[in-house]
Amino acid sequence: MATTTKSSVSKKKARLVSSGRMYVTATFNTTLVSITDEQGNVLCWSSAGEAGFTGSRKSTPYAATITLENAVNKARAFGMQNMDLFIKGPGPGRDVALRVLKAQGIRISLIADMTPSPHNGTRPRKAKHNK
């Protein structure tokens, strides 16, 4: 007697999120982008490495442009039209982020610079002792 088992295939529900947040981490070596909903749940992400760039090409403004466009296109699948933009880091992806969002027609309601800055810096070197 053959028994048939029903395989449980879980399908992702298509969520509709009209507004969310974009976090751009622009380092000297690469650009990372993650897009979340209003509660902070990550919907999609993109990086320069995922876009196919390797080595020193990841640290170019062109790589940042392609990375941000990929992230915005993924967010469009969720129906996203409005974004708050949070930028962190000194890399080439900083300036590109605003240009890409404007070119893609995304409405930006907030731009925040989250770059960490040291309050007191590192401890100074030990003083030289001359005899």
Q: What domains can you pick out in the chain, each with its CATH number?
A: 38-113 (3.30.420.80)
Give the tens place of pLDDT for each residue, 28-68. Answer: 999 999 999 999 999 999 999 999 999 999 999 999 999 99
- Cα→Cα distances 75→28, 69, 121, 123, 126, Å: 25, 10, 38, 43, 52
**Cβ atoms of 98 and 85 closer than 8 Å:** yes
Token pair, residue 79, equals 């129906």
Q: What percent of the chain has pLDDT over 90?
A: 73
Q: What is the pLDDT of residue 8?
A: 52
Q: Which of 93, 45, 99 is nearest to 70 (CA)?
A: 45
**Cβ atoms of 21 and 36 closer than 8 Å:** yes
Task: Report the predicted TM-score, pTM, of the whole model to 2 decimal places.
Answer: 0.80
Residue 5 has pLDDT above 60, yes or no: no
Look over the chain and give the mean of its residue pLDDT values, rounded to a whole number: 89
Residue 74 has pLDDT above 90, yes or no: yes
User: CA quadruple 36, 76, 110, 20: dihedral positive or negative?
Assistant: negative
Q: What is the pLDDT of residue 128?
A: 87
Q: What is the pLDDT of residue 118?
A: 86
